[in-house]
Amino acid sequence: MKELRVTPIKNGTVIDHIPAGRALKVLKILGIGDSVTSTVTVAMHVPSRAMGWKDIVKVEDRELGAREIEKIALIAPAATVNVIRNYNVAEKRRVTLPDRAVGILRCANPNCISNVREPIETEFVVRSKNPLRVVCKYCDRELEEIVTHIV
């Protein structure tokens, strides 16, 4: 019998199929730090038929917002987000990267107008999804090291 290292949760979200090693970045996106009051379980380097190795994050008593899911898509394009309600998978969906990434990335160009105090949200046009390439709508520069520029 297959041994379960991580026990089922009653209510919350399971983020599965995260590329191995990226679970901590997912935690960062979800803002999981000192002040979290529910249980968070992280499984790293779990064998996966589809991916070889993968990471899994389980967050109890929390469902994710659309922006959070978009951010996860930036670092884990194949991730699935399962919403658990009363031990059942109430919703299961793949993360999807929108054609335009709004308010989830910061432009690396210090002289871009989106980096000064103006009443706008950052916006990046997704030029390609694999490999991920995004260009700032305002200054037209391609964003390098996308992961480090997630808001």
Binders of other proteins in range 21-80 (CB under 8 A): none
Nearest alpha carbon to residue 62 among 92, 91, 30:
30
Q: Figure out which of the listed residues 48, 80, 82, 109 binds other proteins, where binding follows CB under 8 A.
A: 109
The only residue of 113, 129, 144, 148 in contact with other proteins, by rule CB under 8 A:
113
Residues forming beta bridges with residue 94, ordered by sequence position: 80
Tokens of 104: 């989830």
Per-residue DSSP letter, 140: -
Least distance from other proteins to the Cβ atom of residue 107, Å = 8
Map the footprint of other proteins across residues 69-108, applying CB under 8 A.
none
In 3D, which of 52, 50, 51, 64 has the Cα closest to residue 14? Answer: 64
Which of 37, 119, 128, 130 lies at the binding interface for other proteins (CB under 8 A)? 119
Please tell me what DSSP assigns to residue 10.
S
Q: Is 143 in the site for other proteins (CB under 8 A)?
A: no
Rounded Cα distance between 132 and 151, Å, is 17
Name the residue nearer to other proteins (CB basis): 34 or 118. Answer: 118
Positions that interact with other proteins (CB under 8 A): 109, 111-114, 116-120, 136-142
